């Protein structure tokens, strides 16, 4: 097939998906290598704008772990690790808030705006729309293999999301860009896992899709092959049998939480691949793993 015809075929393949998701909400968790690679970051901004131009309402929720570490080092703030887990004390939380709700958020907003999108940055502190309770104990594995209980400090578990502010911005044609910082009952800022925040926001918005961008291809089977589609029950079974392990477990659990709350599908994709967001959503084969409540067909 010649190149112009090939491009036309791609557009034809995308058309049913564009029609299906017109005026629907996608929540995209943006993080990993795609955030720190300049070329991938620019590509992501263009992809988000394209989604908005074809009528999809996009909400971006971002991480920023590497940027936080760099800033702590620059300020000479000693990181407190217990059993390999960083403890977020008050000084560290000040940096977390400055980096996530400040420089990282504004850079993403600027990139999307440069591509013609109307992006607005905010955190869960704005209107207190993300509420969380402090995690007082986390079970981590120490270097010697033992399980240890650690108080992670100013780290929160999302308790509720009020989607009113996000819906207002969407209705006005904006692309909300959300830093994963929540508030507790006393109004104190808490650092929240970005995947968790994205899952909770997608659930509160009854989003059509939640997309988790990672630095791996997706969920793999016991032989290391990518699984393109999973039912929720199958994903649970793979966790129970140890096929899904390590850092993929919390991502899949947040995915299961979202589909359990009514999100139609969750996609785990490799953000290191250019245009992975568009390829997963607008092509028949996709490039990552989709998780849905019902058993996949075909």
User: Sign of the CA dihedral 107, 201, 50, 4?
Assistant: positive
The H or E element spanning position 107 is: helix 105-114
Q: Closest Cα partner for 128 from 79, 71, 84, 189?
A: 189
In the predicted structure, residue 1 carries a pLDDT above the cut 70: no
pLDDT in tens, 33-70: 889 889 999 999 999 999 999 999 999 999 998 899 89
Domain boundaries, the chain: 21-222+241-288
Q: DSSP state, 296?
A: P
What is this structure's pTM? 0.93
- Tally of residues, the chain: 298
pLDDT in tens, 192-209: 999 999 999 999 999 999
Q: Which two tokens stand for residue 270?
A: 């490799």
Sequential DSSP letters for 45-59:
HHHHHHHHHTT-EEE
Find the range with the poorest average confidence among 3-12, 87-96, 169-178, 285-294: 3-12
Give CA–CA dist 156/163, Å, rounded: 19
pLDDT in tens, 114-140: 999 999 999 999 999 999 999 988 887
**CATH 3.40.1160.10 corresponds to the domain 21-222+241-288:** yes
In the predicted structure, residue 297 carries a pLDDT above the cut 50: no
Sequential DSSP letters for 166-198:
HHHHHHTT-EEEEE-EEE-TT--EEEE-HHHHH
* Residue corresponding to tokens 């998906």: 17
φ/ψ (deg, to 5) at 82: -125, 120
In the predicted structure, residue 291 carries a pLDDT above the cut 70: yes
**Distances in whole angstroms, Cα of residue 2 to Cα of each of 7, 11, 15, 159, 267:** 9, 15, 20, 53, 31
Q: Which two tokens stand for residue 146?
A: 């033992």
């Amino acid at each position: 097939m010649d190149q112009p015809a090939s491009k036309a075929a791609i557009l034809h393949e995308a058309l049913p998906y564009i029609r299906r998701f017109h005026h629907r909400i996608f929540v995209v968790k943006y993080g990993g290598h795609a955030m720190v690679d300049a070329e991938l970051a620019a590509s992501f901004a263009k992809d988000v704008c394209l989604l908005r131009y074809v009528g999809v309402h996009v909400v971006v929720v971002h991480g920023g772990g590497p940027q936080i570490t760099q800033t702590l080092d620059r300020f000479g703030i000693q990181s407190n690790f217990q059993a390999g887990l960083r403890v977020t004390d008050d000084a560290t939380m000040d940096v977390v808030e400055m980096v996530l709700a400040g420089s990282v958020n504004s850079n993403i907003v600027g990139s999307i705006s440069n591509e013609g999108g109307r992006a607005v940055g905010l955190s869960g502190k704005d209107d207190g729309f993300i509420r969380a309770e402090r995690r007082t104990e986390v079970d981590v594995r120490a270097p010697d293999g033992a399980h240890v209980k650690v108080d992670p400090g100013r780290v929160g578990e999302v308790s509720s999301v009020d989607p009113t502010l996000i819906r207002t911005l969407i209705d006005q044609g904006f692309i909300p860009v959300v830093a994963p910082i929540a508030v507790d009952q006393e109004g104190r800022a808490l650092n929240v896992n970005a995947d968790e925040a994205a899952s909770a926001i997608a659930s509160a918005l009854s989003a059509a899709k939640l997309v988790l961008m990672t630095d791996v291809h997706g969920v793999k089977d016991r032989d290391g092959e990518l699984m393109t589609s999973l039912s929720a029950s199958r994903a649970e079974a793979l966790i129970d049998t140890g096929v899904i392990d390590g850092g993929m477990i919390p991502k899949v659990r947040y995915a299961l939480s979202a589909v359990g709350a009514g999100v139609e599908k969750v996609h785990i994709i490799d953000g290191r691949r250019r245009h992975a967001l568009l390829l997963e959503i607008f092509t028949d084969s996709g490039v990552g793993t989709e998780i849905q409540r019902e058993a996949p067909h075909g």
